[in-house]
Amino acid sequence: MTKFTERNSSPCKSVWLVPLTCLLVGGALLGISTNVAKYAGEIDLSPLAFLFWSIAGAATILLVIALLRQELPPLNKRSFEYYFISALVSVAGSNLLFFSAISHVGASFVALIISLPPLLTYLGALALGMERFQTVRALGVAAALAGAGVLAARKFSAPDASVFWILIALCGPVFLAIGNLYRTLRWPEGASPNALAPGMLIAAVVLLGATSLLPNFSLTVPLGGFLPLGLITLQAFIFAGQFQLLFLLQKTGGPVLLSLLGSVGAIVGVPVAVFLQGESPPDGLILGASLIALGVALVTWGGMNMMVRSEQRLKVPDKT
């Protein structure tokens, strides 16, 4: 008689439930953060100052959580490399580009182009052998990219389009895709998501602080009322949740599923920009958003199937 015992006794649905939840909640926070950044610009908070103090607040929140959980960021040469390169491409560089462009191209457009990294991440993961080709996931990535492409093309064709700032904003997704791959490849051995997230954010604070030393950059915050500090505090908590979920999703879902955070962020961020911030709906919104939603569904479904099959392979025969 042959029976099977599992190395992991958790039900199969838990294999995909955690990454899917991280994807949806983290993506929603990402979409909201772009709108908070736009509002910060309207009350004369510079992009650098707003980003610096928000990231500093988020780093403090996550560091306290890490202390309480006794999962402090590792301090060695390998981890420092990981923190600073991750911070440059995933936090400081990409967000500074996005936040600087928002006042010129709109929060809805920035929310939409954050959905562009999936194709770059997927192609990079295939080239590096981190992913095996799967038709369903490839179709999902193509659909999400097509949706974002429709919206970006319409933005370029607008009569008042700022080509320079559109191109600046489009550099952000390249940084994000590089970050998705780098964090997976160079994940320090034995480190937990709770330990790595505050380490990366602290490194981002150092990089942004160094940027403030350049001419025409400042970390000054207007103190004429409660609103600037209130917005910074709100963004700090959004960033804390967003980056904590980013690392958890990275660990449980892999770089391609992680790259769909931007697609979910677009679905949340664009309606917020239109209905609460008074922006005009982007041309091609229905078609673009529908393709993005389809892409998220296909990649998630393909990823769930891969993880369930992997879980099933963990079953080993136990002859008695």
- What single-letter DSSP state applies at residue 88? I
Average the pLDDT over 9-38 and give the result.
Answer: 76
| Burial grade of 168 (CB within 10 A; 0-12, 13-18, 19 or more) | middle
Average the pLDDT over 230-235 and give the result.
Answer: 92
Q: CA torsion 26→31→37→39, rounded to 10°?
A: -130
Q: With helix as H, strand as E and coil as C, how does 182-209 read?
A: HHHHCCCCCCCHHHHHHHHHHHHHHHHH
Under 8 Å between Cβ of 237 and 61 = yes
Spatial CA neighbour of 299 closest among 101, 157, 63, 122: 122
pTM to 2 decimal places: 0.77
- The single-letter code of the amino acid at 181 is L
On average, the pLDDT of the chain sits at 80
Spatial CA neighbour of 88 closest among 178, 148, 223, 163: 178
Write down the pLDDT at residue 240: 93
What value, to the nearest 5°, has the Cα angle with vertex 178 and ends 281 and 111? 10
Tokens 């920009």 found at? 273
Distance of alpha carbon 130 from its chain centroid, rounded?
A: 19
Write down the pLDDT at residue 303: 63
Write down the pLDDT at residue 192: 84
CA distance 161 to 155: 7
E strands within the chain?
2-6, 315-319
Query: 277-311 burial, b if ≥16 CB within 10 A, otherwise e?
Result: eebeebebbeebbebbbbbbebbbebbbebbeeeb
| Sequence-ordered list of residues with C-beta below 8 angstroms from that of 63, at least 6 positions apart, any chain | 73, 198, 202
Confidence of residue 141 (pLDDT cuts 50, 70, 90): confident
Confidence of residue 280 (pLDDT cuts 50, 70, 90): confident
203 compared with 287, residue with greater pLDDT: 203
Confidence of residue 55 (pLDDT cuts 50, 70, 90): very high
The sign one gets for the Cα dihedral 161, 164, 170, 176 is negative
> Is the pLDDT at 49 greater than 60, yes or no?
yes
> Is the pLDDT at 234 greater than 90, yes or no?
yes
Average the pLDDT over 274-279 and give the result.
Answer: 73
Confidence of residue 300 (pLDDT cuts 50, 70, 90): low
Confidence of residue 206 (pLDDT cuts 50, 70, 90): very high
Spatial CA neighbour of 32 closest among 114, 92, 97: 114
Spatial CA neighbour of 300 closest among 245, 269, 262, 257: 257
